[in-house]
A and B are shown apart, each in its own frame.
Chain A
């Protein structure tokens, strides 16, 4: 068991930063993100035995995280919306005001739509990979992506952008 725990600790240490950033983008809430990652790591730990462990622990953890996120949002009810109070602090190359607006709009999306966008544009997953991780069809991912990007586009007022380019596989 000790060997199991040690191997797991190494894995968790190496991947928890990335997981937390994904969780932060999904939830927009520090404590919720922390809770989501710890729950995710707990589930990976449980599957981390001498006899077996996930073939690709990082992918397993990422999938578990987004599914746990979507699951939690469902259990809390569709009426609840995540915080859109993304801290307005400087950083990165993008315009801060634009980023805050964009992430605020992201936070108001349906949980599954948000997960689709985060997986595709932060985790850089393809439509097919996103579909597999969320348990959706590729068509559902495309339609959700299209719809969600359309909403973001409306928020930003970038009507000139061609909507037909959104939501297609990259």
Chain B
């Protein structure tokens, strides 16, 4: 007799041996079912969500086998949640906020069955929520993250420049939703942990509703080893999640934040001070910038464009020395600072950055930028100025001329940076 036959006989014999307490099972089942219905009604009333599975940071959730309370129930054949996932649209009045727990419940219910751990769900503000958790379908843990937000104005996503071998596809759905599907290494650099993969789907509806879900083949976003060759879900599965109707239901009644006011021609005192401190020929612009006039840009080669000078206070998280560290990242080469003296006698730190013309990060042009940092580790300001040239036009001579022109502006930039320091402003 084979082991299968032995097992089958043993199971049938054991099953036949017992006498199930049918009456107790039925009455207990009805009682629990009524309680589950009551809980669902209560949750719908409170959260406006069809699903409610409470999860705190670090907690372990029930396996997402669907069911109105994030419990275990059958799923559809395609691996996605069946119709029970969202048993009924919310019947309660529209809610004013996105419920992060409901968002978490919904995404969990839309995913194929798997173990969910290390759950976090929170709201950035009433109109957006984010989540992350670790998902394991038995073939390796993957880090899942995402967000749901309602904006006053839809901003359709676009594909980034990809140099790491990844892919990106933009689809426009029948309802006008823009769907972007990305797959590839997590880090944008081609040579940095190429086996750490992240696949992402982002859907932005014309209404301003945006849903994003990302998945990785590692249990954490960073500093972990891949547990599987690819993230657990296909891009089509992710697409189905982010375009599901549940998101519009969960965000029904949520008022988007007011659209950012167009600063228009409003000029701040900070911009006026910057232009004044830079000297003649500079015009204040917007909140924190000043545009160089023709007299200022006269020394630049034809076709080279000069951006606005910008001033910002840089935080105390990093010291001046740390800001001055040289680095090369994504085609941008930043030199170490040189320390010099501003026209007023103050010490300032000057740092140069240029873009590469070759390699995967070459963007079809050349730019050079100079930063002048004034102040101390505790409080410091930086004034920056950038010039750019086209790939077709750039030559060593033109690049030298751009650097020379920027060099001529350093004193003015230093004066503007030091003037912003406490005690310097009039």
Question: Which residues does A use to contact B, with CB under 8 Å?
Answer: 5, 8-9, 12-13, 16-17, 19-22, 24-25, 34, 37-48, 52, 54, 59-60, 63-64, 67-68, 70-71, 74-75, 86, 89, 91-94, 98-99, 102-103, 106, 112, 117-118, 121-122, 132-136, 140, 149, 152-153, 156, 158, 161-162, 165-166, 170
Contacts and interface: CB of A to CB of B under 8 A. Distances in A.
B34 interface: yes
Give 7 closest A-B pairs by Cβ, nearest first: A45-B33, A41-B29, A92-B13, A42-B32, A135-B113, A67-B72, A20-B20
Contacts of A103: 10-11, 14
B133 to A, nearest CB: 14
B36 A45 contact: yes
Nearest to A152: B3
B73 A63 contact: yes
Contact of A8 (B10, B30, B77, B114): B30
Interface in B23-47: 24-26, 28-37, 40
B15 interface: yes
B33 to A, nearest CB: 2
Interface in B223-256: none
A50 B98 CA distance: 30
A68 B72 contact: yes
Contact of B84 (A47, A86, A99, A117): A47
B6 to A, nearest CB: 6
A22 B26 CA distance: 16
Nearest to B29: A41
A39 B65 CA distance: 14
11 contacts: A13-B26, A17-B22, A19-B25, A20-B25, A24-B14, A64-B67, A68-B71, A92-B17, A93-B13, A102-B10, A122-B15
A67 B16 contact: no
B394 to A, nearest CB: 54
Contacts of A162: 2
A118 B11 contact: yes
A43 B104 CA distance: 20
B63 A71 contact: yes
B20 A17 contact: yes
A45 B30 contact: yes
B138 interface: yes
Contacts of A41: 25-26, 28-30, 32-33
Contact of B21 (A34, A39, A102): A34
Contacts of B8: 121-122
B68 A12 contact: no
B79 interface: yes
Nearest to B63: A71
Given A91-B16, A161-B2, 5 more contacts: A41-B25, A41-B32, A60-B73, A70-B63, A140-B139
A156 B33 contact: no
Given A41-B30, A42-B33, A60 B74 contact: yes
Contacts of A112: 138
Contacts of A161: 2-3
Contact of A135 (B10, B40, B112): B112
Contact of B37 (A20, A46, A75): A46
Main secondary structure of the interface of B (DSSP, over half): helix
A117 B67 contact: no
Contact of A42 (B11, B16, B36, B114): B36
Contacts of B77: 132
A5 B30 CA distance: 8
A149 B30 CA distance: 37
A134 to B, nearest CB: 7
Contacts of A63: 73-74
Interface centre among A38, A52, A86 (most CB of B within 10 A): A38
A99 B159 CA distance: 61
Given A38-B25, A71-B62, A94 B10 contact: yes
B25 A98 contact: no
A38 B40 CA distance: 18
Nearest to B28: A38
A51 to B, nearest CB: 8
A4 to B, nearest CB: 10
A5 B37 CA distance: 13
Interface centre among A34, A89, A121, A162 (most CB of B within 10 A): A121
A91 B14 contact: yes
A24 B16 CA distance: 11
Contacts of B3: 149, 152-153, 156, 158, 161, 166
